[in-house]
Amino acid sequence: MTEPVSLARRDLRQFVPYEAASPARDAVRLHANESAWRHDWDDSRAGLNRYPDPRPAAVLARLAELYEAPVEELLLTRGSDDAIDVLVRTMCAAGQDRVVVCPPTFGMYAVAARLQGAAVDLVPLDPERGFALDVDAVIAAGRSAKLVFLCSPNNPTGNLIPAEAVVRICQAMADHGLVVVDEAYSEFAPEQSFAGLRQACPNLVLLRTLSKAYALAGARLGVLIGDADLVRLLRAVLPPYPVPSPCLEAAERLLRPEPVAQARAEVAAMTTRREALRQALELAPAILEIWPSAGNFLLVRCRDAAAVVAACSEAGLLIRDFSRAPGLQHCVRITVGDESHNARLLDAIGAATPEVSHG
């Protein structure tokens, strides 16, 4: 089996990164051209006049505990978007390499690939089978690809990928590519992670985030979990100070037993509200179909998506219209809110009327 780091772009395999200034806080810092004074309103612990720690030991140690992975296999990024981007830039040579994406899914996989000049091969999910993954088609497309991106639970469809499917794809890609599974919504799912597969599948990379279940979307904190040598190379490709100090301080406040327990309780409450909302939406005349979801959202097919979106907007509610995505005509994605949000949503959809064509 090929070492994952050896699959990187040939010109980056011996890449020498920029050396960031030492983060030591117990000495007078005259080595990084920082300002010696801080603003009166700056209540951050380290001071915003100082660069953040490029490898924050306390945050990484707590993340290692949360995700049950060694610190050296963790890469802290500015959200999962940053991890997707650095993976594509590191693994794919412009105009040469290919990436496999399975729509409908998170749009940043294809965006990052195209920005890098990598070709994108699409293997659509099967709407007739609950948006199931066509494993054989992914393996066939993956024969000429450097990266395969999967999402479980998938955004926007909410379905899970079976573990055996991930293993088959990893095995088929073992000598030439990585399999990247985006687990942004895994905390909402009964089977929470493919982390247990990584020892048997060294070319498996997982993406986690504090944005969803842990309510830190504004802090933009993602975590890539992968082979330690690959993580070292990816870290070298990232900017020298990848995560701002206020975001790191927010992570430290979160990653303690009491806040983590609170987040898990909130997730459990949300899953209860998700199923209640799904049952209520099934009774709405404006709704045709609702797919099962293991995320914090529901994919819903409407009689008239534009009318539903307009009715929600009139009520001060924003939902996501996916009607233009292949296979998702008249579909919207609805994030599960609190009880009051969901009640307003149901009232708005109950009042939705189809738009009349005057063609």
Which domain-ending residue is among 255, 276, 311?
Answer: 255
3-state helix vs strand vs coil in the chain, percent to 5: 40, 15, 45
108: its two tokens: 């940043």
28 inside domain: yes
Whether residues 219 and 329 share a domain: the answer is: no
CA R_g for the chain:
22
**Spatial separation of the C-alpha atoms in residues 28 and 293, rounded to whole Å:** 53
355 inside domain: no
Q: DSSP string of 12-41?
A: GTT-----PPP--SSS---SS---S---TT
Count of the separate structural domains present in the chain: 2
Which domain-ending residue is among 198, 220, 255?
Answer: 255
Domain CATH number, residue 265: 3.90.1150.10
Whether residues 271 and 241 share a domain: the answer is: no
| pLDDT tens sequence for the chain (359 residues) | 689 999 999 988 777 777 777 676 678 888 889 999 999 999 998 899 999 988 899 999 999 999 999 999 999 999 999 999 999 999 999 999 999 999 999 999 999 999 999 999 999 999 989 999 999 999 999 999 999 999 999 999 999 999 999 999 999 999 999 999 999 999 999 887 999 999 999 999 999 999 999 999 999 999 999 999 999 999 999 998 899 999 999 999 999 999 999 999 999 999 999 999 999 999 999 999 999 999 999 999 999 999 999 999 999 999 999 999 988 999 999 999 999 999 999 999 998 876 544 33
Q: CA of 156: how far to CAs of 16, 101, 120, 331, in Å?
A: 39, 14, 19, 10
pLDDT of 49 reads 93
* CA dihedral (355, 130, 338, 77) positive or negative: negative
278 inside domain: yes
143: its two tokens: 């024969």
Whether residues 169 and 138 share a domain: the answer is: yes
Whether residues 247 and 222 share a domain: the answer is: yes
Whether residues 110 and 250 share a domain: the answer is: yes
**Spatial separation of the C-alpha atoms in residues 118 and 333, rounded to whole Å:** 29
24 inside domain: yes
Residue keyed to tokens 């494993």: 135
Whether residues 112 and 208 share a domain: the answer is: yes
301: its two tokens: 């097919």
336 inside domain: yes
Whether residues 309 and 202 share a domain: the answer is: no
Report DSSP state, residue 103: S
Strand segments (E) across 152-246: 178-182, 204-209, 222-225
Q: What is the pTM of this model?
A: 0.94
Which domain-ending residue is among 199, 234, 255?
Answer: 255
Residue among 215, 223, 224 nearest 253 (CA): 215
Whether residues 44 and 97 share a domain: the answer is: yes
**Spatial separation of the C-alpha atoms in residues 202 and 230, rounded to whole Å:** 10
Whether residues 138 and 269 share a domain: the answer is: no
pLDDT of 355 reads 56
- Asked if 106 contacts 180 with a C-beta cutoff of 8 angstroms, the reply is no
357 inside domain: no
pLDDT of 63 reads 97
Whether residues 247 and 292 share a domain: the answer is: no
**Spatial separation of the C-alpha atoms in residues 128 and 112, rounded to whole Å:** 29
359 inside domain: no
Whether residues 112 and 168 share a domain: the answer is: yes
**Spatial separation of the C-alpha atoms in residues 309 and 285, rounded to whole Å:** 15
**Spatial separation of the C-alpha atoms in residues 309 and 317, rounded to whole Å:** 9
- Asked if 64 contacts 74 with a C-beta cutoff of 8 angstroms, the reply is yes
Q: CA of 139: how far to CAs of 84, 146, 169, 194, in Å?
A: 20, 12, 6, 18
Burial label for 265, CB within 10 Å (0-12, 13-18, 19+), is exposed
Side-chain-facing half-sphere of 256: CA atoms under 13 Å: 7
Q: By residue range, what is the domain housing residue 139?
A: 4-255
185 inside domain: yes
Contacts of 334 (CB under 8 A, 6+ apart): 277, 281, 297, 298, 300, 319, 320, 345
Q: DSSP string of 271-314?
A: HHHHHHHHHHHTT-TTEEEE---SSSEEEEEES-HHHHHHHHHH
Whether residues 240 and 304 share a domain: the answer is: no
**Spatial separation of the C-alpha atoms in residues 341 and 350, rounded to whole Å:** 14
pLDDT of 352 reads 84
- Asked if 146 contacts 112 with a C-beta cutoff of 8 angstroms, the reply is no
pLDDT of 354 reads 64
Domain CATH number, residue 122: 3.40.640.10
Q: DSSP string of 115-156?
A: HHT-EEEE---BGGGTSB--HHHHHHHHTT-SEEEEESS-TT
